[in-house]
Structure 1
Amino acid sequence: MRKRMTAAAVGLLMTGATVVATGSANSHGYTENPISRQKLCANGTVQNCGAIQYEPQSAEGPKGFPSSGPADGTICSGGNGRFSQLDDPRGGAWPATRVNSGSYTFSWRFTAPHRTSDFKYFITKPGWNPNSKITRSALESQPFLTVNYGGQQPPFSLSHSGTLPSRSGKHVIVAVWSVYDTPNAFYACSDVQF
């Protein structure tokens, strides 16, 4: 009887560990600096965000941006309709991180780091309309920063430095983390004020 109960307890523990491990594999990452829209929703700074407030790490969509990937107007959510609140410009009222052109340190938080191809950062063009959704035509066609990661797996938090282009006023930075061994990438939009 004792052996059966021990075997049952071990079986239950193994099943629980599998569920926990599988659950964490469904979560991924987001930018903390500059703070992303999903992080602003998760920390309660922005209200009425829907499901993304509970899983800020999950704005995942097809990789290959900008030639492929999420459709225009759905870039901030990664094309994931569950997180469409991230695509809403909110009348230009998303809180913005104050930045200056020049050297800047970008930071990511990962809940399940994956082998990584690269990180790319795009920025809105001068004169873009903060009241409209993010589209490819609103962004510079080339990233202002690309960090190649060569298939390595990042740690749970990662920072890298780059140079913010010359801008003034409010802009959006679109950060794209391309996973090495899946067809997906993670998208994070950060509102910034130069």
Structure 2
Amino acid sequence: MSFKRRLLTLAAGAAMVPAALVAIPAGTASAHGYVSSPASRQAQCAQNTVSCGSIKWEPQSVEGPKGLMSCNGGVGRFADLNDDSKGWKVHSLGRTTTFRWTLTARHRTSTWEYFVDGAKVASFNDGGAQPGATVTHSVNLQQSGRHKILARWNVYDTANAFYACIDANIS
């Protein structure tokens, strides 16, 4: 093969590389986490406290679009998490409680939000920081009595968030 022909072949191959790279599917975000203390509904599933289906194997995977108010984050296969009659352990909590997130894969964070029966009671702005393996927040729940708490971790650089619900008797 002549030098000119080799050069043309090499140039044609190099020109195809960018197109090939665009065609390769992008990987999914590796952000995963859940409230481990007090034990969220998915943590209770993982601990066999409540029978819940496939969430038992991946409590960190309740990921859905930002802004939802459901325990399952809109993920159909985790619908058990939305069932209030399932027999969830109700935690006795004080008005100010520390929540601990366990992160199995860290991802830059926009905000952490906490809701009691749908009303926002706290928000922590991380401004895009990457968290460690655990994150804790001290939250004034502003209520007393039996309530459902929704904790939401808003990922900084995706349209998704992670969701966890905790059943509580606040005194």
TM-score range, shorter chain: 0.7 to 0.9
Where does residue 90 of structure 1 map in the other structure?
Answer: 85
Deviation at 1:189, TM superposition (A): 0.4
Q: Is the 8 A contact 2:31 2:107 kept in 1?
A: no
Where does residue 49 of structure 2 map in the other structure?
Answer: 45
Structure label with greater radius of gyration: 2
Q: Report the secondary structure of 1:90's partner residue.
A: coil
Q: Match of 1:148, as an amino acid?
A: N
Q: Is the 8 A contact 2:144 2:169 kept in 1?
A: no
Deviation at 1:27, TM superposition (A): 5.7
Deviation at 1:193, TM superposition (A): 1.2
Q: Quick check: which one's strand share is greater?
A: 2
Where does residue 79 of structure 1 map in the other structure?
Answer: 74
The C-alpha deviation readout for 1:95-141, integer Å capped at 9, x for no partner, is 1111122x2211100000110001000001xxxxxxxxxxxxxx22x
Where does residue 134 of structure 1 map in the other structure?
Answer: none
Identity %: 46
Q: Match of 2:134, as an amino acid?
A: S
CA distance 1:27–1:45, change in 2 (3 Å): farther
Counting only pairs closer than 5 Å after superposition, residues 158-169 of structure 1 correspond to structure 2 as 158-168=135-145
The C-alpha deviation readout for 1:137-156, integer Å capped at 9, x for no partner, is xx22xx10101111001101
CA RMSD in angstroms comes to: 1.7
Where does residue 56 of structure 1 map in the other structure?
Answer: 59
Where does residue 106 of structure 1 map in the other structure?
Answer: 99
Tell me how far apart the structure 1 counterparts of residues 38 and 140 of structure 2 sit (CA, whole Å). 13
Q: Report the secondary structure of 1:107's partner residue.
A: strand
Aligned residue pair count: 144
Q: Report the secondary structure of 2:80's partner residue.
A: helix
Tell me how far apart the structure 2 counterparts of residues 87 and 117 of structure 1 sit (CA, whole Å). 25
Q: Report the secondary structure of 2:74's partner residue.
A: coil
Q: Match of 2:122, as an amino acid?
A: L
Tell me how far apart the structure 1 counterparts of residues 165 and 91 of structure 2 sit (CA, whole Å). 12
**Structure 2 gap segments, 5+ residues each:** 1-26
Where does residue 13 of structure 1 map in the other structure?
Answer: none
Tell me how far apart the structure 1 counterparts of residues 129 and 140 of structure 2 sit (CA, whole Å). 23
Q: Report the secondary structure of 1:44's partner residue.
A: coil
- TM-score, normalised to structure 2's length? 0.79
- TM-score, normalised to structure 1's length? 0.70
